[in-house]
Amino acid sequence: MKTEYLQNPPDFVNAVEKFSKSKLKRKAELLRIYEEALKFKKESLFEDLTFTAKYVRGLLRIIKSGKINPGSDNIDRIKEDFLDNMNKIVKMIKEILYGAGDDLNLHFDQTYFESSQEGFLNINELLSDMEWVKIYMNNEKRALK
Question: Residue 57 above 60 pLDDT?
Answer: yes
- Residue 89 and residue 59 in contact, taking contact as beta carbons nearer than 8 Å: no
Give the global pTM.
0.89
Q: For residue range 60-85, what is the model confidence (pLDDT) as tens digits?
A: 988 887 665 555 567 788 889 999 99
Higher-confidence position of 93 and 62: 93
- Residue 96 and residue 49 in contact, taking contact as beta carbons nearer than 8 Å: yes
The per-residue pLDDT for 3 is 47
Closest residue by Cα to residue 100 from 39, 143, 49: 39
Neighbours of 34 (CB within 10 A): 23
Residues 6+ apart with CB under 8 A from 37: 43, 45, 46, 96
The per-residue pLDDT for 36 is 96
